[in-house]
Amino acid sequence: MTQKIRKAVFPAAGLGTRFLPATKSSPKEMLPLVDKPLIQYSVEEAVASGIESILIITGRDKTAIENHFDISFELEQVLQERGKQEMFELVRAVSDLAKISYTRQKQALGLGHAILQAKDFVGDESFAVLLADDVIDAETPALKQLIDVYEKYDAPVLATMQVAGEAISRFGVIDAEEIEPNVSKIKNIVEKPKFDDAPSDMAVIGRYVFTPELFDAIERSETGAGGEYQVADAMRILLDEGKPFYAVRLDGVRHDAGDKLGFLIATVEFALKRTDLAPEFKAYLKSLNL
């Protein structure tokens, strides 16, 4: 029997330099996609995948995230006084979503270092990691797709997607052998390879299921430029020791909402799915005659 994945870690302490100046004093995880902050989409995905307990790793100026998932007494009181029951319920539902705790990453020393801050929270259980700026629109929640593979193979699982052409150089890329449709056993991971050196067209994206062995591997990994700990280095240590890692090719559409163009595309796609907005929004887009 594999352990149930109950805990999820959300690293949200990055500097968000690709989205400046919006991210100067506000975390990119709070950028709104239509009317919900990015991080709410992935918290909802985690809950829909069976997660019971969440740790958000915050950096400087991240109080907006804590406030968003907390009860807002003042706002709720005003909404009730004004008879706005529907809005009251909408606001209350956010704070009822999940059991969430927070810890700080005091310096942005990379994703590996951010995950390391979750060591005490995770203990000796396998756990999930979600990067909220990767918004994944999928019928079966993306994390659930990973957990299903974890439960079958009892080993860590990474989410991947196919990336065509030169764009592959912006991702971690796996060298892997497909063992069943959409599931591969990983042989190696190469971080941001040149197009010609990429071992495949399968890019790693922001959903992971790890075993607690990862923490020790992060601690043993060498830091790169700027003292950053890369999670891919820790994974490579475990791979070199013969530990199995699997990859699932996600069924769904992934948006890089931490990037300006990716965010704009996601906004249009999500708005066009909204029954309350789509008719007028579509009419507007058509009127542009681009």
Which CB atom, from 57 or from 266, has the smaller least distance to ligand UTP?
Answer: 57
Using left for φ > 0, alpha for ψ between -120 and 50, and beta otherwise, residue 53 falls in beta
- Site residues for ligand UTP, window 218-277 (CB under 6 A)? 258
- Count the site residues for ligand UTP by CB under 6 A: 21
Distance between CA atoms of 153 and 174, rounded to whole angstroms? 18
Distance between CA atoms of 70 and 88, rounded to whole angstroms? 14
Cis omega (within 30 of 0) for bond into 244: no
* Amino acid at site 209: V
Q: Does 110 bind ligand UTP (CB under 6 A)?
A: yes
Which CB atom, from 111 or from 232, has the smaller least distance to ligand UTP?
Answer: 111
Which CB atom, from 3 or from 63, has the smaller least distance to ligand UTP?
Answer: 63
Q: Does 189 bind ligand UTP (CB under 6 A)?
A: no
Which CB atom, from 42 or from 200, has the smaller least distance to ligand UTP?
Answer: 42
Q: Does 42 bind ligand UTP (CB under 6 A)?
A: no
Least CB distance to ligand UTP at residue 171 (A): 11
Q: Does 33 bind ligand UTP (CB under 6 A)?
A: no
- Site residues for ligand UTP, window 44-103 (CB under 6 A)? 57
Distance between CA atoms of 31 and 285, rounded to whole angstroms? 22
- How is residue 197 annotated by DSSP? G
Distance between CA atoms of 72 and 115, rounded to whole angstroms? 29
Of how many residues is the chain composed? 290
Residue 193 near residue 199 (C-beta atoms within 8 A):
yes
Which range in 41-49, 67-75, 105-113, 234-242 contacts ligand UTP by CB under 6 A? Answer: 105-113
Q: Does 13 bind ligand UTP (CB under 6 A)?
A: yes
Which CB atom, from 79 or from 129, has the smaller least distance to ligand UTP?
Answer: 129
**Residue 65: CB atoms within 10 Å:** 25
Least CB distance to ligand UTP at residue 139 (A): 24
Distance between CA atoms of 262 and 19, rounded to whole angstroms? 11
Residue 230 near residue 116 (C-beta atoms within 8 A):
no
Residue of 47, 87, 97, 109 interacting with ligand UTP (CB under 6 A):
109
Least CB distance to ligand UTP at residue 180 (A): 29
Distance between CA atoms of 151 and 149, rounded to whole angstroms? 5
Which CB atom, from 118 or from 147, has the smaller least distance to ligand UTP?
Answer: 118
Binding region for ligand UTP (CB under 6 A): 11-19, 57, 105, 108-111, 113-114, 131-133, 258
